[in-house]
Amino acid sequence: MAPKCQDFAKHLKGSLATNYESIDPCVDFDKYSCDGWKATHDYRPDQSRVSVTSVLSDNIRDVLHAILDGPYAENTTFTGSDRESDVKNFQKMKTVYDTCMKEDAIKSYGVAPLRKILDQFEAIYPVNGTTKNNATQKEELTDAVSWLKKVGSVSALFSSSTGADDMNPDTVFISLGASETEMEKKYYTMPIPLRNYTRAIAEMTHVIQSAKPIDEYPIPANENASLYEKAKRIVDFEQLIASKTPDPEQSADVKYSYNVKTLREIEASVPELSIIKVLQDIAPPGYTVDAQRTVNVADRNFYGNLSTIIKSTSRQTLHDYFEWRLISTWDGALHKNYSAPMRRFNNRLVGRDPDAVAERWRTCISEVDGTLGHILGGVFIQRMFSKKDKELGDQVIQDVKNVFAENLKTLDWMSDSAKEIAAKKVVNIISKVGFQTKNPDEQKPQELSDYYANLSITTNYFDNARARFEFNQNKTWADLLKPTDRDRWEMTSPTVNAYYNPPINEIVFPAGIMQIPFFNGELPEYANYGGFGSTAGHELTHGFDDNGSKYDDTGRYREWWDNSTTVRFENETQCFIKQYDQFTIEGLEGEKVHVNGKLSLGENIADAGGLNAAFRAWKKRDIAKLNPSLPGLEKFTNDQLFFVSYANSWCEKIRKEALLRQVLGDPHAPSDTRTNGPVANSPDFRKAFNCPVKQPTCILW
């Protein structure tokens, strides 16, 4: 037996509860499959959760760490045909990494670069409200918001970005949304996080003013009251913004978030600020922004609200809020001693030790990933993703697509005409596997070098952070000048994740997730289909969840279902909502908090459909020699091992506070629920484990 297979057997067996034989898998399959894993894994102080996924991420980071710590290795990319560019790319990446690692140099500039940004902003929007050159209040506010966006990397009062127009997927347009807030909306009604946040603002403000770390120079008694008073005003203002911000389940719903308006209409609803002028300042030359220009308003109520917010807020508060947004955006580029108040706040929010700091190299690998992700990706795939991996990945995905399409024919709640388009939609789904191969191709050093040519990297950490922001911002807004880039990936290849993108109708699987224990050519097929296959099915089913199903076979957002199909689909979604509303977690004071069935609906539909499709796809393949039983697991049938592999991919230990945060704002249900929910919705699972109830609780796909 292949060594990888033996390791996998050990991993799977060790993950099972030691007393699994006395646990009913039909009641708590997560406990059954994961209690052993939970007993043998613990968080690092800087982690709020540890999971099979996070362990894989760590393994990948270890590989990247070794590469970045070492000298240039020959043949860094696949082809090795362009050594000169390859060396250059590696050096650029290494400079980002080394500069990030030199904490003494970062410490030596103190808070000076952030102070400089704040001084520049003060000249644009002075606190005392004296208008220069007879500028009106409106002109000054407009200049401030524009500068914050363009130079400060801050979305203040409203957010703006670019993306495919859901009704015309090849067209890129501007999308406007509510202002970003530091915390998830619900936290603005909770006393403890609000208190911690207020403290962080007061202390960070003091650090910036005094230019000394808070631990060396705590707030003097005579300044305490005024700093806290200022912090309280900022928090109150954010609280007001949060109260006018859509709930996360609204934002995720295209019916709520797709509203095409002309800028004239928007301008009329916010007379206190010229949104046209702000957008003109950001948009690239050659892209006309005028009153006729149509944009998307991702929050249909926000702009009326925005006017009320501005009118009811003093200039002093707006100024202080803007200043704070700059501090909270750039504090991460300061030495850890200076950013301590913010780090403590963030740690407390997710239940970590307040003073926990990730090892520097981990932070710096994230930094390289965020700055030169395609170069890092090229190096990663060269070591950890083979042609064979790609072929097997393609096969699993194709199998899952095939059974999904076949299953459509059997659905009694869908009309024939809807089935026909749905089948076309499955055929049309583009799957991207491994890494980006165009603009740039991660295997081609010259393309990579050209792609990042305008990103100038120095040996100053703060300057690199600013350069990265500017580079990404320019790319985002330059998109307006071209049709939608269908070759682009929204994740880098070392990422352990996957996604579905509705207007492009694509499913995307970075090489990071196509690794042991989810996927490997040497593993039994039930493991590959239970692990990676169910992820493939999950992403595919997103095309048919409560949101994805509103996009047709070409990725266009339009009504393509008849009435009776829609009604029956919505009836069944109620089943999912009720089912997941029943799951609870423990709140901060020991109270029960329910999972939000509405917020997590799309993910739960995708989990159920993905698991069903993966199982059926595997059954079609089930060739004895590719599905050997594993040492120590001979008691299980292969059908059972398929589901054990699935559950194993969700094994996780999470801190109470982090779990609460997930339930409040994340569409993904807690990981134990992501095992217990989908298996209850799987007739195949209930058969495999001979459960008393054979019918699934809820089923759509």
Shortest Cβ 488–Zn ion spacing (Å): 19
Shortest Cβ 541–Zn ion spacing (Å): 9
Shortest Cβ 548–Zn ion spacing (Å): 10
Q: Which is nearer to Zn ion, 375 or 606 (CB)?
A: 606
Give the interface size with Zn ion as a residue count (CB under 5 A). Answer: 2
Q: Which is nearer to Zn ion, 155 or 681 (CB)?
A: 681
Shortest Cβ 602–Zn ion spacing (Å): 7
Q: Which is nearer to Zn ion, 252 or 372 (CB)?
A: 252
Residue among 215, 181, 231 at smallest CA distance from 335: 215
The rounded distance, in Å, linking the Cα atoms of 677 and 610 is 12
Shortest Cβ 538–Zn ion spacing (Å): 6
Position of tokens 């004239």? Answer: 264
Token pair of 388 as six digits: 């064979």
The rounded distance, in Å, linking the Cα atoms of 102 and 636 is 52
x/- string (CB under 5 A) for Zn ion, residues 453-492? Answer: ----------------------------------------
Binding to Zn ion in span 238-297, by CB under 5 A? none
Shortest Cβ 61–Zn ion spacing (Å): 23
Is the distance from CB of 8 to CB of 525 less than 8 angstroms?
Answer: no
The rounded distance, in Å, linking the Cα atoms of 343 and 625 is 52
Q: Which is nearer to Zn ion, 249 or 522 (CB)?
A: 249
Q: Which is nearer to Zn ion, 506 or 603 (CB)?
A: 603
Q: Which is nearer to Zn ion, 530 or 537 (CB)?
A: 537
Is the distance from CB of 379 to CB of 437 less than 8 angstroms?
Answer: no
The rounded distance, in Å, linking the Cα atoms of 145 and 321 is 12
Shortest Cβ 603–Zn ion spacing (Å): 5
Q: Which is nearer to Zn ion, 536 or 647 (CB)?
A: 536
Q: Collapsing DSSP states into helix, strand and coil, what is residue 463?
A: helix
Residue among 508, 613, 492 at smallest CA distance from 64: 492
x/- string (CB under 5 A) for Zn ion, residues 601-630? Answer: --x--x------------------------
x/- string (CB under 5 A) for Zn ion, residues 565-604? Answer: --------------------------------------x-
Q: At what angle do helices 52-69 and 83-101 cross, to 10 degrees?
A: 110
Shortest Cβ 608–Zn ion spacing (Å): 12
One DSSP character per residue, 422-451 reads HHHHHHH-EEEEES-BSSSBTT-HHHHHHH
Q: Which is nearer to Zn ion, 53 or 76 (CB)?
A: 53
Shortest Cβ 688–Zn ion spacing (Å): 24
Shortest Cβ 535–Zn ion spacing (Å): 9
Q: Which is nearer to Zn ion, 43 or 580 (CB)?
A: 580
What b/e readout covers 567-601, taking b as 16+ CB neighbours within 10 angstroms? ebbeeebebbbebbeebebebeeeeeeebbbbbbb
Radius of gyration of the chain (CA): 26
Q: Which is nearer to Zn ion, 327 or 608 (CB)?
A: 608
Q: Which is nearer to Zn ion, 117 or 540 (CB)?
A: 540
The rounded distance, in Å, linking the Cα atoms of 433 and 499 is 11
Residues in the chain, overall count:
701
Return the DSSP state at 570. H
Q: Tell me the HSE value of 358 on the side-chain side, using a 13 A CA sphere.
A: 16
Q: Collapsing DSSP states into helix, strand and coil, what is residue 506?
A: strand
Which residues make beta-bridge pairs with 261? Answer: 295
DSSP H/E element including 294: strand 294-297
Shortest Cβ 57–Zn ion spacing (Å): 17
Name the site residues for Zn ion (rule: CB under 5 A): 603, 606
